[in-house]
Amino acid sequence: MKAMILNAFGGSDKFETADISKPEVQAGQVLVRIAASSVNTVDTMIREMGPELPLSPALPAVLGMDFAGTVEAVGEGVSAYAVGDEVYGCAGGLGELQGTLAEYIAADIRLIAHKPKNLSMREAAALPLVGITAYEGLIRAGIKAGQTVLVHGGSGGVGHVALQLANHFGAKVYATGGGDKQLALIETLGAKGINYKTETVADYVEKYTGGAGFDVVFDSVGGENMLNSFEAAALNGQVASTVSMVELDLSVAHFKGLSLHVVFMLIPMIHNYKREQHADILAALAKIAEQGALKPILDEKQFSLEEVGQAHDRLASGQGMGKVVVDNG
């Protein structure tokens, strides 16, 4: 099969076209002909940093985690899927798991679900990693109908899904963005947009919560921005963070009695730990999408499998709006 491989870590020009062996389906797996895959920040980090990240695969490597496609064969013990089923998931591209920048993947059925019927292959491929991340963060934060929820980075990959899910769960949703296009997208998706460049945290906490703070803060920006999340949260509030590799003074979190939920959705893939939870979340996301409450936004630029280096550059540039998707064939 055709695949894009890395023989060396580094720049986006390191991808090479190659013919490699089609994977053989094993027990508990399905062989999927991949229609589309999407690029996530962790993909670019693995490509750039290589062995500095403990989750990076050995070279030569096929990267890519998200995919959507059609089942062509089922392994021993698989009864939930049949040849011809359309599926999606986040199932490769790290450790010993072959990635999705190829024509086929042998995917663990605990990491996939049936594709949402109302989404295209490209849309479905954009959803797994960001969808699981957003869902897990909100659920762990105990989101409830009627709460006020603030999403930092509401126009980003994870953020634009998180605000849609928060809406679905019945919360009153606000989200930060840094420009007119970002704020317009946030408003279109059903949240109140906040321009973090022109409004201070104290200003918008007072404006939208009467100074009480938000019940749940979902921080998809992370790093130093977590201090803004602590400031924005209500007393005994919940903060979910997807980027927590930072040293911070937790004094504000302490005196407000905050609960911090660190979301690292790759744990089941890396450690083969409770992978079935990902299948359950993907099935739940498919139902929400089919109800019309969740639709991933795709960047306007389209890329073929051979152009994956350009797709990585597009994501890294910050100029894209929505998920960057690769058409596998």
3-state secondary structure 33-93: EEEEEEECHHHHHHHHHHHHCCCCCCCCECCCCEEEEEEEEECCCCCCCCCCCEEEEECCC
For range 55-68, the mean pLDDT:
97
For range 6-16, the mean pLDDT:
97
Is the per-residue pLDDT at 42 higher than 90?
A: yes
Q: What is the pLDDT of residue 232?
A: 98
**Cβ(320)–Cβ(301) below 8 Å:** yes
CA distance 57 to 94: 5
**Cα–Cα separations (whole angstroms), residue 283 to 6, 21, 22, 280:** 32, 30, 27, 5
Take residue 299 and report the two structure tokens written for it: 């960047």
Take residue 320 and report the two structure tokens written for it: 């894209």
Nearest to 296 by CA among 175, 170, 195, 155: 155
Q: Where residue 329 falls among pLDDT bands split at 50, 70, 90?
A: confident
Q: What is the pLDDT of residue 321?
A: 85
pLDDT, tens digit, for every residue of 92-125?
Answer: 999 999 999 999 999 999 999 999 999 999 999 9
- Dump the DSSP string for 280-308: HHHHHHHHHHHTTS--PPBPS--EEGGGH
Degrees to nearest 5, angle at CA 129 with 123 and 131: 70
Q: What is the pLDDT of residue 132?
A: 98
Residue percentage of the chain with pLDDT more than 90: 97
Three-class DSSP category at 229: helix
CB atoms inside a 10 Å sphere around CB 140: 14
Is the per-residue pLDDT at 318 higher than 90?
A: no
The domains located in the chain, with CATH, are 2-127+272-327 (3.90.180.10), 130-262 (3.40.50.720)
For range 174-202, the mean pLDDT:
96
Predicted model pTM? 0.97
For range 322-327, the mean pLDDT:
96
pLDDT, tens digit, for every residue of 209-230?
Answer: 999 999 999 999 999 999 999 9
Residue 69: alpha-carbon gap to chain centroid: 18
Q: What is the pLDDT of residue 313?
A: 97
CA distance 227 to 102: 41
